[in-house]
Amino acid sequence: MFGKSGKTRTEITTLVGAGTRIFGDIEFEGGLHLDGQVHGNIRGVEGATLTVGSGGLVDGGVEVDKVVLNGTVQGDVVASTRVELGASARVIGNVVYQVIEMASGAEVNGSLIHHDPMQPRDDRD
């Protein structure tokens, strides 16, 4: 995302273009690229990657293995492996991550919560 050549790219299997608005939840596999708006939750099956372009908006929660965010999420972001926040990324909610990469200018209005998959989660909170 930030010009590093060693990263693997996920094939985009689903595209939601600019000007498209979806009202309802989305469940996907593979790679989803979002330039439009989703008013609902987004969930990816194991191994999925969500990429939100700078004009993209999610008004709901996100739960996926890997998130590359340059747009806005108004809800919690839960990534089981990696979160990449670009300079124009905005999260109004919590970010749960295993690995996070955050560019200068990215904004999180909530908590950053590290999730170590080797540690059992305490869901009593």
**Is there a domain that residue 67 lies in?**
yes
Asked if the structure places residue 25 within a domain, the reply is: yes
| Residue 101 falls inside a structural domain | yes
> What tokens appear for 27 in the block?
């469940």
Confidence at residue 6, expressed as pLDDT on a 0 to 100 scale? 41
- Cα separation, 78 vs 16, whole angstroms: 21
Q: Is 98 inside a domain boundary? A: yes
**77 lies in a domain?**
yes
Cα separations (Å) of 77 from 3, 6, 17, 63, 94? 24, 25, 21, 6, 6
pLDDT at position 124: 47
pLDDT in tens, 45-63: 999 999 999 999 999 999 9
> What is the CA angle 86-60-70, rounded to 5?
10
Number of domain units in the chain: 1
* 2-38 pLDDT per residue, tens: 444 445 467 888 999 999 999 999 999 999 999 999 9
The pLDDT value recorded for residue 3 is 43
Is 43's pLDDT higher than 50? yes
121 domain residue, yes or no? no
Does the residue 12 lie in any domain? no
Domain range for 98 is 19-114
Average confidence (pLDDT) over 63-80: 97
In a domain, 52, yes or no: yes
Question: Over the stretch 98-119, which tens digit does the pLDDT of each residue have?
Answer: 999 999 999 999 999 998 776 6
For 7-25, b/e burial (b = at least 16 CB within 10 A) is eeebeeeeebeeeeeeeee
